[in-house]
Amino acid sequence: MRILLTGAAGFIGSYVARALLEKGYEVIGLDNLNAYYDVRLKFYRLNTLLTQKGFHFFPIDISDWVSLAALFKRIGPLDAVINLAARAGVRASLEEPLLYHHTNATGSLHLLELMRHYQVPRYVLASTSSLYAGTPLPFTEEQPVNTPISPYAASKKAAEVMAYTYHKHYGIHVSVLRYFTVYGPAGRPDMSIFRFIEWVYRGQAVEIYGDGRQSRDFTFVEDVAQATVAALRLEGYAILNIGGGRAPTSLLEVVEFIERFLNKKAKLHFLPPQGADLVHTQADISRAQTLLGWHPQVDFYDGLARTLNWHLSNRALLDNLTL
Ligand SMILES: NC(=O)c1ccc[n+]([C@@H]2O[C@H](COP(=O)([O-])OP(=O)(O)OC[C@H]3O[C@@H](n4cnc5c(N)ncnc54)[C@H](O)[C@@H]3O)[C@@H](O)[C@H]2O)c1
């Protein structure tokens, strides 16, 4: 199978690429390597992939129609597109809504339009738990999600429904995966777990928006990658929650574990709550269990310990990394 994987140098994308290569797929990775966060991390991830047989990489922007169309023409037949390329910052999307829309909604439409043209039968789209703002816990896929509170969430909703239109008219099989706060080694430096670990390790103030009691259904990145690869075999149009499958964990509990692991005291610095953030998230993952036979394998604190060990083993990269 030949897969076009967008966002291949990203956090989740690099794990999905590895999981695909392990299964013997050919992976055509693309990424525009933008500087939303420190690009050294993207090159670090990419370097681990470039040496692997079956992996090809193209530095292309999905919102650049001309370059993307030329890529589809050049690479030939594909079995599927997995679209993980996105601007993914909830708060940052309030600053740059046009960029978020252009990347996440228009970029996604570019892919669908080229899939239609080249008759690519399968599309897996990374979507988000952020869509569930204002709905009751635990979040189920049947709940209407028409009240996004960030341009990021709104742009993902646009991508979801446009994929539905392409499924309906052109028979493209679509799996929309709503990921719930993903964490793991070589993560994203704009996300809480990465920052908390670095701030505690470096002895810097740990910034917490709100009182720290907000909680997340954290999901280990390898579990997310397994679900994403499994979704390639689904037919029709399906929306699936990909969450941790356990009670959510509060940010304060995360910091306490990091303190104990590193044997360092965190300097907590509380800031006003952010209006674009959800207070709690919790996924009902029964649909993913039924349709994919998938269940998360990694316990939250085991995953957190693995993440901490990665931070301890990669100080040359991390000491100068901008948070
Ligand atoms: N990490 C999470 O907790 C989480 C939760 C829900 C949904 N998601 C979604 O999962 C996907 C992957 O997220 P991630 O956490 O790995 O983020 P990431 O930022 O690490 O990865 C996204 C990658 O896409 C690339 N990219 C951005 N715009 C692009 C463009 N126009 N053209 C080509 N490449 C582009 C970036 O350079 C980056 O490498 C995203 O779609 C994100 O919205 C992530």
User: Backbone phi, then psi, for 303, in 5-degree steps?
Assistant: -65, -40
pLDDT for the residue 277: 86
Contacts (Cβ under 8 Å, ≥6 apart) of 17 = 5, 8, 27, 29, 49, 55
Question: Atom 7, ligand 1: which residue's CA is nearest?
Answer: 128
Residue percentage of the chain with pLDDT more than 90 = 98
Q: What is the pLDDT of residue 56?
A: 98
Q: Which residues are CB-neighbours of 159 under 8 A, at least 6 positions away? A: 83, 104, 105, 108, 109, 125, 127
Strands 80-83 and 122-128: parallel
Which residues have any ligand 1 atom within 6 Å of their CB?
A: 6-7, 9-13, 30-34, 42, 61-63, 84-88, 103, 107, 126, 128, 179, 181-182, 188
Report the atom number in ligand 1 closest to the C-alpha of 83.
41
**Contact residues for 43 (Cβ-Cβ < 8 A; gap 6+):** 9, 33
**pLDDT bucket at 91, cuts 50 / 70 / 90:** very high
CA of 86 to the centre of ligand 1 (A): 4
Looking at residue 166, what is its pLDDT? 98
Which residues, 6 or more positions from 189, have their beta carbon under 8 angstroms from its beta carbon? 37, 38, 41, 195, 198, 321, 322, 323
Active site residue 179: no
Dist CA 125 CA 155 (whole Å): 12
Biggest distance spanned by C-alpha atoms of the chain: 57
List the residue whose alpha carbon is closest to atom 42 of ligand 1.
Answer: 88
Q: Cβ atoms within 10 A of the Cβ of 316, count? A: 7
Closest ligand 1 atom, residue 130 Cα? 6
Ligand 1 centroid, distance to 40 Cα (angstroms) = 15
- Sign for the pseudo-dihedral over CA of 316, 317, 318, 323: positive
The whole-angstrom distance between residue 83's C-alpha and the CA centroid of its chain comes to 10
Nearest CA to ligand 1 atom 43: 88
Of how many residues is the chain composed?
323
- CA 46 to ligand 1 centroid distance, Å: 14
Which residue is associated with the tokens 């499958």?
245
Residue 134 Ramachandran class (φ > 0 left, ψ -120 to 50 alpha, else beta): left
Determine the pLDDT at residue 276. Answer: 84
Q: Which of 15, 25, 152, 201 does the annotation list as catalytic? A: 152
Q: What is the Å distance from ligand 1's center to 292 Cα?
A: 23
Pairing of strands 249-250, 215-216: antiparallel
**Closest ligand 1 atom to 61 CA:** 32
Using the mean position of ligand 1's atoms as its centre, give its distance from the Cα of residue 208 in Å. Answer: 23
Distance from residue 260's CA to the centre of ligand 1 (Å):
31
**What's 2-184+219-244+282-299's CATH class?**
alpha beta
Protein residue whose Cα sits closest to atom 30 of ligand 1? 61
**Pocket-testing residue among 6, 14, 16, 34, ligand 1, by greatest number of atoms within 8 A of Cβ:** 34
For 232-245, the pLDDT digits (tens) are 999 999 999 999 99
Residues 6+ apart with CB under 8 A from 155: 87, 93, 100, 101, 103, 104, 105
Q: Is this model's pTM higher than 0.95 or not? A: yes
Atom 26 of ligand 1: nearest residue by CA position: 85
Tokens at residue 163, please?
A: 């994929």
Closest CA to 11 of 178, 306, 264, 225: 225
H helices present in 243-299, as ranges? 251-262, 286-292
C-alpha to C-alpha distance for 196 and 27, rounded to whole angstroms: 33
What's the pLDDT tens digit per position in 17-58? 999 999 999 999 999 999 999 999 999 999 999 999 999 999
